[in-house]
Structure 1
Amino acid sequence: MPLCAVAYVSDVAGPLSAEQLDALVDDAVRFNSLAGVTGVLLFDGGRFLQYFEGPDDGVSAVHERVLQARSHRAIVALGHARVPKRYFPYWSMRWLGVEPATIEQLASGDWQAFADPVQGGPPPHGGMERLLRFVAPHQPSISAGDATERLT
């Protein structure tokens, strides 16, 4: 089944407590699980950077939901493309707190392609490669036990 992905940055629409953010992510986990979508959300207290991946119809449903959400504004698309595999297979959605400079650095990468068509992985020094390097320490190791671990 072909997979696609979307990445964007946006500004928080107003004050967002840790409890509100957790509720927002819990809701996304439920919706994304049903849509077959996985991904990661970075939050620096004022901005989001989100990447999500899955089948075309699931990604379209999640993307429409993102565009309609009142929790953020000033959405800037970084990319929307095919991917050769899931980069975040265990997370329906996971949020990670980051410094503002991290979102700036990741957003400034080249997001035109999520994957190198020849190599099958993200282009070196592109936005996706930067995101993968940043998130790598937070990813579960690949083992049978991790496949059932719920990370939110």
Structure 2
Amino acid sequence: MPLCAIAYRSDAADGISVDRLNALVRDASHHNRLAGVTGVLLFDGKQFLQYIEGPDDGIDFVYSRLNNAKSHKHVVELARGHGGVRRFPYWSMHWILVEQHQLHALAVADWTMIEKHRSESEVVVPAVAELTALVRPHLQDAG
């Protein structure tokens, strides 16, 4: 079964706290684990950028939940593709606080090659490479 990946950006609901975000991520992690979905959520205090990966049916389930969530608004899908390798195989979901300029840079990065990303060696997706580089220091900090 091919791997599907989606990246999106959204605006956080007004007044979302770190405690509320932690609770949302715990809930998402549970549902993602059941759906076989892994990923990472970046948050700059005002906006989210999330990358999720997994089987088509799992991604459809999780993305439907995301689109209906009241924790954010103005969801903009940046990319959707099939193939490739899991970037975050050990995280059913994890969130990282980033600077506004880091999230913005990823939101406007080149996601266009994600559909052709079949393996790590064939095609480099600039946005996925940037995301992976940004997240790499946090990989050892989370479980």
Query: How many residues matched?
Result: 141
Give the distance between the partners of 1:122 and 1:75, measured in 2 at CA. Answer: 25
Provide the alpha-carbon RMSD of the alignment.
1.7
Paired residues of 1:25 and 1:93 also in contact (CA < 8 A):
yes
Residue type at the aligned position of 2:39: G
Residue 137 (structure 1) shift: 1.3
Residue type at the aligned position of 1:23: A
The within-5 A match list for 1:56-135 is 56-114=56-114, 116-117=117-118, 119-123=121-125, 126-135=126-135
Per-residue CA distance 1:101-146 (angstroms, 9 max, x = gap): 01101111111222544734533xx2111101111111249xxxxx
Give the distance between the partners of 2:130 and 2:83, measured in 1 at CA. Answer: 16
Secondary structure of residue in 2 paired with 1:109: coil
- Residue in 2 that maps onto 1:47: 47
Give the distance between the partners of 2:123 and 2:38, measured in 1 at CA. Answer: 17
- Residue in 1 that maps onto 2:14: 14
Q: Normalised by the size of structure 2, how large is the TM-score?
A: 0.92
Query: Structure 1 pair 25/117, CA: closer, same or farther in 2 (3 Å)?
Result: closer
Residue type at the aligned position of 1:48: F
Identify unmatched segments of 5+ residues in structure 1. 142-149
Give the distance between the partners of 2:75 and 2:43, measured in 1 at CA. Answer: 14
Select between 105-114 and 41-50 the one with higher mean Cα deviation: 105-114
Residue 13 (structure 1) shift: 1.6
Tell me the percent identity: 46
